[in-house]
Structure 1
């Protein structure tokens, strides 16, 4: 299956560790060699890098490890193609503008029949590619359109979390529906099910790790990633733990809201 990773931090940081870790998952005999992408936020905008090739072979990944944009919010994805050809249009994460902000989405799973989902609409937003994941993003944009287009200010966190958790519940009816979604301010992560080491499709679909340092000369360090020094907080969400630290598996159907390196709220299934 695909690999997801998101990082939210209080202060800007580079993604050299996350890209290296995800690229390692696409090396050798790995099945996740059909594309990679990363979205790096800068305020309400985001720069998105995508290639329909293996991340482990990419000169662009190596360039971003040293020259990439410092950011406080990022979403990355390594693809194993199950729906749609290996092509740029089918490579995640996907990004669209809504309410004067870039919204970014990445999904891991298999959503059978999403094009015909009775609770999903595709009126304003339509996929460029042919993946179930981009169909899911378009359906999510339809759900949140009114929240963002009809308000003079960003909708409340409670309103956003309610819509997203209800949407996640509808996706779970179609199959494994792990996803990461960001609206430039808040990262939302939904954990469901994925293929485990045993070969069974079961929870957890995502895991979460948080850390912080309060001393001015202290850095956050974990197996190759260094953030700081000084007064840094960080939350990482990934398909599988990327370090030996204590990652918390998300409950099946759980949706978490994260911003500025802090866990803001949780919605249970």
Structure 2
């Protein structure tokens, strides 16, 4: 499996602290050594970095850790390869344009029964994750409109997630730069930091940060991960089948997507 990291904030914020903790799991404290990637939204643009080296040993990851790129939405992924060779084409997060916006996607899991359908978007690499991303965008392109509200688009994403979750493990991060959609079948956690801010210590690196010195009283910053990154904060654990729509660091909508065949949350 892989590990995910995302951020949603109400003001441009850097990801250095959380990214440093996650990268240690890529070949040091964890087995996810088959490449990594991160995408930062800056307005409608995206600054993206990908590398096939283990993130714990990547010189490029060191640059990202020490260069405070400010963003309101960011998505990161460290890979433990299951499907597809280790190469840049198979390195998350993946990105495509839809309705004049860049959409960014990262996935943790594997769907043994998934079969993609032909459509406008096609995968470049050989992962089921990228094929899933293309399937999602093809569905939205056919069934939604660029002027649809986030609520309408989210309902389509919930139904698609429910279907995919019935085929295997489907932990998802998806953003168009305005909002961030997250879906969990097995593992996902979040934390929302706001005033009064305090210190936090990473689990995977000997790093402590005092958020009070890095923020203003109006800042709201939420971090979503596969496994909690800090040892001294209380994280909110997702339930199996839970989805959340984040915007500006706040959950705007959430729910439990139920598998209609079994009557239980998909997992």
**Unpaired segments ≥5 residues, structure 2:** 202-207, 258-267
What SS does the corresponding residue of 1:6 show, helix, strand or coil? strand
What SS does the corresponding residue of 1:255 show, helix, strand or coil? strand
Query: Which residue of 2 is the match for residue 174 of structure 1?
Result: 167
Query: Which residue of 1 is the match for residue 150 of structure 2?
Result: 157
Cα-to-partner distance string for 1:158-205 (whole Å, 9 max, x where unaligned): 101101100101111210000100011000000102xxxxxxxxxxx2
Change (3 A) 1:72 1:169: same
- Which of 222, 225, 244 aligns to 2:200? It is 222
C-alpha root-mean-square deviation of aligned residues, in Å? 1.6
**Unpaired segments ≥5 residues, structure 1:** 194-204
What SS does the corresponding residue of 2:158 show, helix, strand or coil? helix
- Separation (CA, whole Å) in 2 of partners of 1:266 and 1:9: 17
Task: Give 1:220 deviation, angstroms.
Answer: 5.6
- The 5 A counterparts of 1:1-269 are 1-28=1-28, 30-114=30-114, 116=115, 121-146=117-142, 150-151=145-146, 153=147, 155-193=148-186, 205-213=187-195, 219=197, 221-223=199-201, 224-225=208-209, 226=211, 227-243=214-230, 244-269=232-257
Contact 1:5 1:77 in 2 (8 A): yes
Change (3 A) 1:146 1:43: farther
- Separation (CA, whole Å) in 1 of partners of 2:76 and 2:182: 13
Change (3 A) 1:147 1:221: farther
- Separation (CA, whole Å) in 2 of partners of 1:60 and 1:173: 37
Matched residues, number: 247
Task: Give 1:266 deviation, angstroms.
Answer: 0.4
Tell me whether 238-247 or 62-71 shows the greater mean CA deviation: 62-71
- Separation (CA, whole Å) in 1 of partners of 2:171 and 2:80: 14
What SS does the corresponding residue of 1:22 show, helix, strand or coil? helix
Contact 1:90 1:131 in 2 (8 A): yes
- Separation (CA, whole Å) in 1 of partners of 2:159 and 2:181: 13
Task: Give 1:107 deviation, angstroms.
Answer: 0.3
Query: Which residue of 2 is the match for residue 196 of structure 1?
Result: none
Query: Which residue of 2 is the match for residue 201 of structure 1?
Result: none
Task: Give 1:219 deviation, angstroms.
Answer: 4.6
Task: Give 1:238 deviation, angstroms.
Answer: 0.4
- Separation (CA, whole Å) in 1 of partners of 2:83 and 2:42: 31
- Separation (CA, whole Å) in 2 of partners of 1:87 and 1:27: 16
Task: Give 1:157 deviation, angstroms.
Answer: 2.0
Task: Give 1:36 deviation, angstroms.
Answer: 0.4
Contact 2:16 2:67 in 1 (8 A): no
